[in-house]
Chain A
Amino acid sequence: MTNLEANPVLQKLRGFAPEAIQDIQNFRGELTISIVARDLRRICEFLREAPGLSFRFLSDLTAVDHYPNEPRFEMVYHLFSIENSSRLSLKTQVGGTDPKVDSLVPVWPSANAFEREVFDLFGIRFEGHPDLRRILLPEDWEGHPLRKDYPTEGFR
């Protein structure tokens, strides 16, 4: 645990927004920080801009459905810093009734298609997304296939 506390990313984040950090996981050398959804965009801007961190590359963005548990969804962001060759995973919880979370398109334009994919397959709304439409499925598709209560064979 002492090892983890010395992690520069964690230290800087603690200094910036200590109240936003909910949980810290270290599994197989991967640091995952769970943060409060309200502070998501502010923290991401900090992680991108702060000297010594510069997570300028959003590697991946996706969601996990924990149905029937609440909060039902978990948003997962995998960040990468090309300068430091370091990775960081961010997580935030999203409730199951009217799921929505701040869009990160203002921070990383590349979040655009990834968020559309999550919207399409999980039905999570991204507030502030410039063009939130289905991306993989047809526009008139019913339901969100990657939700756990959506049967693998589809609705009959």
Chain B
Amino acid sequence: MPLTIEKMPGQEDRVILSMGPQHPATHGVLRLVLELEGETVRRALFDIGYLHTGFEKSFEAKTYTQCLTLTDRMDYLAPLSNNLGFCLAVEKLLDLEVPPRAQWIRVLLTELTRLQSHLVWLGSHAIDLGAMSMFLYCFREREDILHIFEMVSGQRMMTSYFRVGGVALEPPLGWLKRVDAFLRRFPERLEEYETLLTKNPIWRRRTVGIGKISAADGIAWGLSGPPLRASGVKWDVRKSDPYSSYDKFDFNIPTRPEGDVYARYLVRLDEMRESLKIVRQALEGMPEGRTIAKAPHTVLPDREAMKTSIEALIYHFKIVTEGFHPPVGEVYRTIESPRGELGFYIVSDGSPRPFRCHVRAPSFANLQALPKMIEGHLIADVVACIGSIDFILGEVDR
């Protein structure tokens, strides 16, 4: 029996509408059950799980290195952020220091991830509200970023490029030139987007004052990331709990007081500008040195060492066939993914496979605020609110 809403006595004229799971504006397979009075939403329930693939169970059967490839597939628009969250949690468990060059590469790539994720959000959010051309422009720029990902990792989307202890490979020559070219081109494009939307009266009519949520409600309902900052809460994990040397970068946390769909739009646009600043700093200050930590028990040895030293060969064999053994303990590490606070909770029993690995998916928590935002609004605004939270169903369902 699929999820539904029972109508209250005396409200028989209300309509129960099932929106999704196959609806183009639900960004994946989300089903909403709406109780409508005319065109106004009175009550809303969400029905999820259509993409549930049991990642958390799979984690328990895989070594830490194998687990990494699963993290890409959760939030498929921000694979590198997920890689980073997982690697940081395992590194915390191991108490492993990552070389500066690897940290800078990680920062650069995760900020590009934020940009490309926000570009997909902007394009699809705009097309949901009728601004067709935005979609094409955003995907044009996103492709540039995906080319950079392909250049360093060999993959456009499922990169799995970070490793416990650093990054998988030294990036190819000339990749920084490519990043530089993108940085020169992009600010202008961002202005173009603004000319299409920010002062556009249709866009403003569809977004200003829609889906309002207060800061207190946002915190109570577990909202994090850009939607919470658009309600005036100045909280960003990159500042409150810096990781990967974010404390050495100069950037601001954009906030807005309004808490509506338009504010979320403005916050994300400002965030893209801040990300550009961070990428520029990472590019110019990129240190030299190793791209992965020297930790023979955990990190695979260099190819050269493996072929010349019997010790390195033994470690290589052990790590590949068995995996590395972290100490007994448990850690919880969060990062600021493009969607909000992404957390990895890992329990280790000392074996090469996590005893338990739980993912605090920002989309899952943010989705809970959706009924709060849409109740009392028109059914057309539901689409605007869904777009403004920017959740990824792969991550919601895991």
Contact = CB atoms under 8 A, between A and B. Distances in A.
Contacts of A58: 222
Interface residues on A, range: 35 or more
Nearest to B329: A27
B343 interface: yes
Band of interface residues on B: 35 or more
B347 A30 contact: no
A56 B223 CA distance: 12
B233 A62 contact: no
Interface string A68-108: 00000000101000100101010000000000000000001
B325 interface: no
B330 interface: yes
A85 B241 contact: yes
A150 B331 CA distance: 24
Contacts of B343: 59-60, 78
The interface centre, meaning the residue of B60, B345, B398 with most chain A CB atoms within 10 A of its CB, is B345
A156 to B, nearest CB: 16
Contacts of B224: 57
A62 B235 CA distance: 23
Interface in B207-231: 219-222, 224
A139 B48 CA distance: 12
The CB with the most chain B CB atoms within 10 A, among A62, A64, A121, is that of A62
Q: Which of A28, A145, A150 has the most CB of B within 10 A?
A: A28
B219 A137 contact: no
Contacts of A82: 219, 233, 235, 240
Nearest to B92: A28
Given A78-B343, A85-B241, A145-B54, A64 B356 contact: yes
A82 B92 CA distance: 22
A27 B60 CA distance: 22
B150 interface: no
Contacts of B334: 59
B358 A136 contact: no
B243 interface: no
Interface stretch (A4-12, A35-43, A109-117): A109-117
A150 B224 CA distance: 33
B58 A152 contact: yes
A11 B334 CA distance: 25
B61 A138 contact: no
B18 interface: no
Interface in B240-294: 240-241
B332 A30 contact: yes
Nearest to A107: B220
B57 A152 contact: yes
A7 B364 CA distance: 32
A85 B1 contact: no
A132 interface: no
A57 B56 contact: no
A21 interface: no
B368 A113 contact: yes
Contacts of B54: 145
A106 to B, nearest CB: 11
Contact of A27 (B57, B58, B331, B341): B331
A140 to B, nearest CB: 9
Contacts of B219: 56-57, 82
A145 B57 contact: yes
Nearest to A140: B1
B365 interface: yes
B61 A152 contact: yes
B27 to A, nearest CB: 18
- Centre residue among B61, B233, B356, B397 by max chain A CB count within 10 A: B356
B25 interface: no
Contacts of B107: none
A146 B57 contact: yes
A135 B95 CA distance: 36
A138 B364 CA distance: 17
A78 B368 contact: no
B49 interface: yes
Given A82-B235, A121-B56, A135 B49 contact: yes
Q: Which of A59, A76, A112 has the most CB of B within 10 A?
A: A59
11 contacts: A57-B219, A57-B224, A59-B341, A76-B345, A87-B332, A136-B49, A145-B54, A145-B57, A146-B56, A152-B60, A152-B61
Interface of B: 1, 48-49, 52, 54, 56-58, 60-61, 92-93, 95, 219-222, 224, 233, 235, 240-241, 329-332, 334, 341, 343, 345, 347, 355-356, 358, 360, 364-365, 367-368, 397-398
Given A59-B341, A89-B332, A134-B49, 7 more contacts: A57-B219, A62-B345, A62-B358, A65-B356, A87-B241, A139-B1, A152-B61
